[in-house]
Structure 1
Amino acid sequence: MSKYLNLIISTKITQPHIKNFNAIASNLNTLDGLQYLPNLEKAVFSGNNIEQLTPLKNCIKLIELDLSNNRLTDIKDLINLSLMEGLNLSNNPINNIECLESLKYLKSLKIRYCQLYNIEKLKLFNLNFLDVTGNYLDNLNFIKPLLNLKTLNISNIKSYGTNELGYFNRNNISEISQLENLINLKEIRLNVGSIDNLQPLSNLYNLEVLEFWTNKIIDLKPISDLIKLKKIDFGDNLISNLDAFSNLHNLEEVNLTGNEIKDIEPLKNLRKLKKLSIGFNKIENIEYLRTCKNLKTLNCFGNNIKAEKIEILKRELPECKINAGFLIK
């Protein structure tokens, strides 16, 4: 692909017919040549060694652009790409994104694992997807103007290859009151933080996915009326009471691993539940789960459940794979 760019440079002939360009991991050090592609609409340059974006200035018709995993520090050359709807700048040492404010049509922005400390000037009113995982943010004030946001991911997670995960001590979010007016939100991921109060979520009735694992949450009552919820992950918190689950009939996947739970009776009405993880709690009785006929996977290791109770549940739910670990005889 770099040879193709070199050909464009050497001929210096405008290529108006080219609308898509893909150069993933192509050992590119420069984007020279793109200035001759005025009608470019979609481009992927992930996994290269690109440091500056000057050739993109002429690509004013760009709609989607992926520049993840490069060496960018300055993105000011994106300022005139006003038609942009999707932008991925993840894994670059970027510390300033103020120029993106001119991208009024931007709907999706991924800026994972950059060097961002403050993005409060990010007033992109059409944004509906934002991923700022692995930066250095300590509050959510930048969220307030983003009233059309549907998906928010701001976690302290670092990927080491395909499957391994580690924690960043970067984002230090403890307060989520800034979310209370974002009524269009469908997905929130705020993993690994210091959050202990979910009350600001109580009126976000469009929520379908909540991930708050490794926080300091005790009380789930604020989410008890969010009946559109399909997936919940509150692993590694301080939860002991599950009464909030009684009305959440659309839940399909629940993770409550590593809490203080003894009683799981409120889960008995979750007839759509397909996957449940309740490992490393204080649970002894799992008979209430026999009414969850759609359950396909149950992780309940690290509790005080007797082997005979597991066997009974296996007979009640023959299609469910039960991972119980070491059992009490």
Structure 2
Amino acid sequence: MAKSQVGEESAMGCQTTLKKQHSTQAAKSICSKSKPYAVVKDIPANNKDSSDDLFSTEKLDGCRNGNTLDLHGKGIKKLQKFEKLPGMKTLDLSCNSIEEIEYLDNHNEITELKLYGNNIRKIKSLDRLQELQVLQLQFNNITTLRKGLLKLRKLQRLRLDSNRLICMESRELSGLSQLASLDISHNQLTDITAVNMLPCLEELFASSNRLCGVIDLSKCNKLQELDLSNNKISEVRGLSLLETLTKSLTRCFHLVELNLIGNIAETSEEDETMHLMEVSYLMPQLEYLDGVPLNPSNSENQNSQVIQKTGLANASLESTQKSCLMDFESQMEDLQQSLAERFSQVKNLMESLPKKLPFKPSHTASTKLTSVPGYGSRPQTSCRSRSRIEEARSFAAQHFEK
């Protein structure tokens, strides 16, 4: 399973560079350079007119693109109250200098809120955003969650990576009943037991923290992808890393990808192979460990299923083609039989006709008449009937032939 696409923003250069930084201030400077054409002068906190002007309806309409209001990298230091924009689903306030979340109460139709790359220290004023599904708060200065997320019951994806979180309590996550993806990597957390309050959690990214001891994720039954890389889990005394994890992940039946790199001390190739074999045995459902395929047979099974479905489709197509060919052959046979019957009828008709004509003409119509002397030349007539010709011949025989 690929990592959540929530963090892919329009300013991809900004985000990619930010991921490599562990300092919020460094991230801020880089973020401000990602869109030089969009950056404006910082708004003084006491200059109310210029701030109001930035959030005027006219200026906001110019930043709107469909159902998205894009205020990325505008140099905003303080949010101002602005009119509700009908149909707005995405609000992008990323890569600014915002320190406090405020004046968002009346925008309760928002489904995605981007506040990454600011100076926010406290999560608040989000209670009325009941339709919010995606919240991005990475690269800020947040140290604790408190009650800031309790009312976001439709939230599905949350990014809190690259902040200053020290701890998370179960009650702080108790309202996130639909959360499926959580990124808390690059913080200072020593315990993540609170995520057991998330019954729908499928992706958990907790790399580069200070996790150690027993990692309890026993109630995350739907967990599919887990990243615990670059922590200190291997420092549990008297208990191996595998024993620690397998005890807490025994009920994660859907877990297919696990990343533990950066926890175990450097080992030889032989030890690493044994480690992979042991994990594969203890967690047979795993497909990837530290990016390495554990069970190629799973891929083979998937490929065989695809091949099987393709074979069935081909068989169905072949059956259809055969049926069409059989119908065509049947039609051709019927046509042949019909033609044979008609040919036979024509042949019988031809055989029934007489071979000779029933009469024989005595003379041809082309015989020339002999002119009668003394009578002058007889005018030609257009009548050519047989009786007239016979009469003429009889007359000539009687009077002119001896």
TM-score range, shorter chain: 0.5 to 0.7
Contact 2:280 2:294 in 1 (8 A): no
> 1:130 Cα shift?
0.6
In the alignment, the residues of structure 2 paired with residue 200 and residue 189 of structure 1 have an alpha-carbon distance, to the nearest angstrom, of 15
User: Which segment is superposed worse, 174-183 or 217-226?
Assistant: 217-226
Unaligned stretches of 5+ residues in structure 2? 1-33, 41-53, 234-240, 266-270, 305-402
Matched, 1:191 2:216: no
In the alignment, the residues of structure 2 paired with residue 41 and residue 225 of structure 1 have an alpha-carbon distance, to the nearest angstrom, of 41
> 1:197 Cα shift?
4.4
Give 1:60-99 correspondences, 5 Å limit: 61-99=87-125
User: Match for residue 225 of structure 2?
Assistant: 209
Change (3 A) 1:55 1:99: closer
User: Match for residue 400 of structure 2?
Assistant: none
Match of 2:280, as an amino acid?
F
Contact 2:287 2:294 in 1 (8 A): no
Q: Residue deviations 1:185-241, cap 9 Å, x none? A: 000001112223455312322111100111122222122442322321111113885
User: Match for residue 147 of structure 1?
Assistant: 177
SS in 2 for 1:220: helix
SS in 2 for 1:272: helix
User: Match for residue 59 of structure 1?
Assistant: 85
In the alignment, the residues of structure 2 paired with residue 52 and residue 61 of structure 1 have an alpha-carbon distance, to the nearest angstrom, of 24
> 1:91 Cα shift?
0.3
Q: Residue deviations 1:45-73, cap 9 Å, x none? A: 32332334436433254211121111222
> 1:34 Cα shift?
4.3
User: Match for residue 255 of structure 1?
Assistant: 290
> 1:273 Cα shift?
6.5
> 1:39 Cα shift?
11
Percent identity, aligned pairs only, is 23
User: Match for residue 321 of structure 1?
Assistant: none
Give 1:304-323 correspondences, 5 Å limit: none
In the alignment, the residues of structure 2 paired with residue 189 and residue 126 of structure 1 have an alpha-carbon distance, to the nearest angstrom, of 20
Give 1:206-245 correspondences, 5 Å limit: 206-217=222-233, 218=241, 219-221=244-246, 222-238=248-264, 243-245=278-280
Task: Give the structure with the larger helix fraction.
Answer: 2
SS in 2 for 1:200: coil
SS in 1 for 2:127: helix
Match of 1:207, as an amino acid?
L
> 1:101 Cα shift?
1.9
User: Match for residue 72 of structure 2?
Assistant: 46
In the alignment, the residues of structure 2 paired with residue 130 and residue 191 of structure 1 have an alpha-carbon distance, to the nearest angstrom, of 15
> 1:132 Cα shift?
0.5
Change (3 A) 1:185 1:46: same
Change (3 A) 1:35 1:231: same
1:138 to 157, 166, 169: 166
Q: Residue deviations 1:4-29, cap 9 Å, x none? A: xxxxxxxxxxxxxxxxxxx9654243
Match of 1:76, as an amino acid?
E
Contact 1:39 1:59 in 2 (8 A): no
Matched, 1:27 2:41: no
Unaligned stretches of 5+ residues in structure 1? 1-22, 157-170, 258-266, 275-292, 295-329
Change (3 A) 1:60 1:247: farther
Q: CA RMSD for the aligned pairs?
A: 3.3
In the alignment, the residues of structure 2 paired with residue 114 and residue 234 of structure 1 have an alpha-carbon distance, to the nearest angstrom, of 26
User: Match for residue 246 of structure 1?
Assistant: 281
SS in 2 for 1:76: coil
> 1:128 Cα shift?
1.2
Q: TM-score, normalised by structure 1?
A: 0.61
User: Match for residue 107 of structure 1?
Assistant: 133
Change (3 A) 1:133 1:199: closer
Match of 1:51, as an amino acid?
K
Contact 1:227 1:249 in 2 (8 A): no
In the alignment, the residues of structure 1 paired with residue 283 and residue 299 of structure 2 have an alpha-carbon distance, to the nearest angstrom, of 10
SS in 1 for 2:281: helix
| Aligned residues between the structures | 231
User: Match for residue 260 of structure 1?
Assistant: none
In the alignment, the residues of structure 2 paired with residue 135 and residue 268 of structure 1 have an alpha-carbon distance, to the nearest angstrom, of 33
Change (3 A) 1:229 1:58: same
Contact 1:60 1:80 in 2 (8 A): no
Max Rg structure? 2
In the alignment, the residues of structure 2 paired with residue 78 and residue 40 of structure 1 have an alpha-carbon distance, to the nearest angstrom, of 19
Match of 1:72, as an amino acid?
I
Contact 1:83 1:103 in 2 (8 A): yes
Q: TM-score, normalised by structure 2?
A: 0.51
